[in-house]
Structure 1
């Protein structure tokens, strides 16, 4: 057994729960989030580039992303704009989502989740809005496979802080060493590791060089198996 308690013997392995990030792990909708955020900022004279979104805002929930955008653009935005920005972004995202939602699942994502649910207890830990997550899970007919959803605004702080994963451990009623997290972002990995979880990163949004703090890195969710999690 290593220092955090993950056993090499599969029969005695301690991982019992798997907490999935949503955007960029199960569904390939990060571009929709970027486009809806970019279009929201545009009327205010704020240019949001794809590079800046990926580097600075991807791991944040809407509220914290817009707080950062406001802070970076004090000459064009005010704190009082926050709620309006969030509402416009959500509306824009939902419009884009409705145009092609069923095509947004990463290849094999639904099949992988169904297979893993036979062995592990599953949960969602995401910076997305609950309505967005529930809509997509229902489309994939996998909503009943997850014990819980922890979404934006349901903890005091979002990723990269550990609050959401701490709540996941509590809802699973497991020890941190008994839970694995599946993430695609640096902030998500940081949150999982700060909670003491086994962090698995998928190279959907960043390449391996950016994900080196994860305990394990895989190319895509299609590579996520019982053996991958059990090590």
Structure 2
């Protein structure tokens, strides 16, 4: 069956924000006299807001309720985006080019607040029929919930949908949902081999994902 819709991830695909997230959260944790666990960064990539804030509070040991941790970190992220939005070169143009041929949705682990801020600042709000945060589904990535919900809201089946992802948990989520997976591995935070193996197509830049490339999947 031919692809008729594409579901984008946000962080690592449209904005190069993973290093900003790590810097902000590491700084916040350090201010409270704690340090990341060895697997904290990898685990949090793809977690919903409720999940990563609980991890920082319950496992890393930040001595505040998870809801307060989430609010504090999101406020700092919004301030960083207001200073400078780290758009990936060519990502905005790629979204618009694909939108001329395919229906588009967004499935992100970012909060609704940050999703809306990024899309508004980048001028992409009108490009997506559906936008979802993992805050709005029962489980974050690597669970398939956010992708399954995006497909349902588009009124389509997973067989005609592709996903563009960068992280291990994102790739696992899209694959578990049954979408055709396009991987754009992040240079600083490359996905695990088992996650990357679930991709039908691996590219080095999101700009390589053209309408012609998607049509050939």
Per the normalisation by structure 1, the TM-score is 0.85
- The corresponding residue for 1:173 is 155
Equivalent residue for 1:113, pick from 95, 105, 108: 95
- The corresponding residue for 1:59 is 46
Give 5+ residue unaligned stretches, structure 2: none
Matched length:
213
In the TM superposition, what is the alpha-carbon distance from 1:56 to its structure 2 partner?
2.1
RMSD: 1.9
Q: In the aligned structure 2, how far is the partner of 1:68 from the partner of 1:131?
A: 20
- The corresponding residue for 2:65 is 81
Highest CA radius of gyration, 1 or 2?
1
Aligned ranges for residues 142-221 of structure 1 at < 5 Å?
A: 142-204=124-186, 205-206=189-190, 209=193, 211-221=196-206
Q: In the aligned structure 1, how far is the partner of 2:78 from the partner of 2:121?
A: 14
Residues 187-223 of structure 1, C-alpha deviations (whole Å, 9 max, x = no match) = 1111111111101110224168462221211111111
Asked if 1:227 is matched to 2:173, the reply is no
Equivalent residue for 1:25, pick from 1, 13, 23: 13
In the TM superposition, what is the alpha-carbon distance from 1:129 to its structure 2 partner?
1.1
Deviates more, 1:30-39 or 1:120-129: 30-39
Give 4+ residue runs of structure 1 displaced > 3 Å after superposition.
Answer: 51-54, 207-210
Per the normalisation by structure 2, the TM-score is 0.90
